Amino acid sequence: MVEERLIGDDGLREDGRKPDQLRPIKIEAGVLHNADGSAYVEWGKNKVLAAVYGPREVHPKFLQDSTKAIVQVTYNMAAFSVDDRIRPGPNRRATEISKIIGEALEYVILTHHFPRSSVDVYIEVLEASAGTRCAGLTAASVAVADAGIPMTDLVVSCAAGKADGQIILDLGKSEDNLGEADVPLGYIPRTGEIVLLQMDGHLTKAEFEKAMNMAMNACKDIYEMQKDALRRRYAVGADEDKTPTQEVIE
Amino acid sequence: MSKPIIAEIQKEQIRRLASEGKRMDGRGFEELRNLEVEVNSIGAAEGSARIILGNTDVLVGVKMSVGTPFPDKPNDGVLMTGNELKPMAHQDFSVGPPGPVSIEIARVVDRGIRESKMIDLSKLCIVPGEKVWMVFVDIQVIDYDGNLFDAATLGALLALHNTTVPARKFEVGENHKLPVNGWPLTVTSSKMDDFIMVDPVLLEEQVADARLTVSVDENDFIRAMQKGLSGAFTYEEVVKAVDVAASLTKKLRQKIISTGE
């Protein structure tokens, strides 16, 4: 088998990043017209949109909770978002990701303020290149904030992992496919709590701890980008035309 | 999609404005909304286009793969057009398999591409009867404020015009541009009472009695039509709508060809 090198002799990765370096990230809040809140995240080659509707009536009705709002997340990848076309519609992977992202978000949303209602979050991956669940959760939490839904903090998400024997941050596509481990993590910077954690591959305990720390540190940087996106959206004199109005021009 | 509830006062307002020759957003009856296009923003797709028409936002991606032809057309490539109205785009859209509204749009877009022969499917044959190119055009509505027919058609055309056939990936030669020709663009008119306006926003669409989509190619030939909703058009109205579509598609085509390619 030909050994595929993911980290060069200079210690740099395929795309020229250092082991603890994130891909370029761009976050924008309030990008959609109809949704109550929305966000767009470009994370390396990932392009992810998140839309929030609610709190609104629960469909189907039997899901409603008389004590709090429920959080329903639908994560979906566009048919054209990857190399081989994806058949549209839900699949097991999307169902699982929707569930864990929903659970992570629910923790920070003050759901008991909105009994019997639903906060519906739609995450559409327009283009995918490893790390879409992290980009999706990061976008979704900005979108929930943009919708004006009270939260205890934003959730930030980022992965770390292992490739070529080294612990690295924010795995790219080939690192994800060929590397030794992937640890996506969802983090609440204000309290230091972890609300999403998955892992596949093989790591020693020390390596796992190093990966977690690396991801948590990166989350703190991404957190600043999230807040910055919200500030840009709501700063006085910010672009106002995205606010839906029913004003009649005569 | 559940039936929308529109306040009488809003209907009245649209009617009152229309009787004065005006529209809610200040446009004339035969005026399209502001249009922005973005081509090939999706690197993973063989071709893509984002169409922002007022507040309507549609992304169309083209994917290609090698497959087997239909037995009745052993020398033709396969074209498939899909459309998804995602709950992201509007509160009335729900999760689940495409419903009639969604399917109608996909089929109208598909027909516009197929019937205009803008893709010569016989050129997509690799080994007759065995191997042909499959072209998947997937329409994803991102934000919905009316007139998906025109936005989706435009997106599909632009995406196809910018599609590269991934031949190297399937080991059937070198990558090359998808052979397409022509721009069979559509203009949709919606009718409320006796007022007919093009490129309706959502609210205008919701109060409309009837809708007519007309596809016109670069030689001023009408290539496709689709009438929708339960109202009716008079003969004169249809003729007028076709004229309007012809002149608007001409302008639109010039704009697209100069910016989009």
Q: What is the pLDDT of residues A36-57, one digit of tens each?
A: 999 999 999 999 999 999 999 9
- The pLDDT, as a whole number, for residue A82 is 94
> Mind listing the pLDDT tens digit for each residue in A70-99?
999 999 999 999 999 999 888 888 988 999
Nearest to B162 by CA among B66, B58, B72, B61: B61
3-state secondary structure of B10: helix
- The pLDDT, as a whole number, for residue A149 is 98
> Mind listing the pLDDT tens digit for each residue in B189-204?
999 999 999 999 999 9
A241 falls within a domain: no
A159 falls within a domain: yes
> Mind listing the pLDDT tens digit for each residue in A141-170?
999 999 999 999 999 999 999 999 999 999
Residue in B closest to A51 by C-alpha: B88
A106 falls within a domain: yes
Mean pLDDT of chain B: 92
- Two tokens, residue B38: 């973005």
List residues of A whose CB lies inside 8 A of any B CB.
32-35, 45, 47, 49, 51, 53, 56, 59, 74, 76, 78-85, 88-90, 120, 122, 124, 126-129, 246, 248-250
Nearest to A150 by CA among A158, A141, A160: A141
pLDDT grade, residue A246 (50/70/90)? very low
Residues of chain A with pLDDT > 70, as a percent, come to 93
A237 falls within a domain: no
CB contact under 8 A, A59 and B94: yes
Residues of chain B with pLDDT > 70, as a percent, come to 97
User: Residues A231-241: what's their mean pLDDT?
Assistant: 74
Mean pLDDT of chain A: 91
B40, pLDDT greater than 60: yes
- Two tokens, residue A228: 């910055």
Nearest to B32 by CA among B58, B56, B61, B60: B56
Phi-psi region of B171 (alpha: psi -120 to 50; beta: other; left: phi over 0): left
A34 falls within a domain: yes
pTM for the full predicted model: 0.83
Smallest CA–CA separation between B104 and chain A, in Å? 17
- Two tokens, residue A91: 């699949």
Nearest to B63 among A76, A85, A129 (CB): A85
Nearest to B42 among A84, A126, A250 (CB): A126
- The pLDDT, as a whole number, for residue A238 is 56
B97 contacts on A by Cβ (under 8 Å)? 89
**Residue appearing with tokens 């990932």:** A46
A1 falls within a domain: no
Asked if the ipTM is above 0.90, the reply is no
3-state SS of chain A is CCCCCCECCCCCECCCCCCCCCCCEEEEECCCCCCCEEEEEEECCEEEEEEEEEEEECCCHHHCCCCCCEEEEEEEECCCCCCCCCCCCCCHHHHHHHHHHHHHHHHHECHHHCCCEEEEEEEEEEECCCCHHHHHHHHHHHHHHHCCCCECCCCEEEEEEEECCEEEECCCHHHHHHCCEEEEEEEECCCCEEEEECCEECCCHHHHHHHHHHHHHHHHHHHHHHHHHHHHHHCCCCCCCCCCCCCCCC
B94 contacts on A by Cβ (under 8 Å)? 59
3-state secondary structure of B96: coil
CATH architecture of B11-260: 2-Layer Sandwich (3.30)
B44, pLDDT greater than 50: yes
User: CATH no. for residue A83?
Assistant: 3.30.230.70
pLDDT grade, residue A249 (50/70/90)? very low
Which amino acid would we find at residue A42?
A: E
Nearest to A88 among B10, B25, B84 (CB): B84
B251, pLDDT greater than 80: yes
User: Residues B238-244: what's their mean pLDDT?
Assistant: 92
- The pLDDT, as a whole number, for residue B101 is 86
- Two tokens, residue B170: 């399937």
A206 falls within a domain: yes
Smallest CA–CA separation between B193 and chain A, in Å? 20
User: Residues B10-34: what's their mean pLDDT?
Assistant: 94
- Two tokens, residue B178: 């998808």
Task: Give the residue with greater pLDDT, B67 vs B220.
Answer: B67
A239, pLDDT greater than 60: no
- The pLDDT, as a whole number, for residue B3 is 57
- The pLDDT, as a whole number, for residue B97 is 81
A151 falls within a domain: yes
> Mind listing the pLDDT tens digit for each residue in B113-166?
988 889 999 999 999 999 999 999 999 999 999 999 999 999 999 999 999 999
Count of the separate structural domains present in chain A = 1
Instruction: Please give the residue range of the domain that contains residue A177.
Output: 25-232
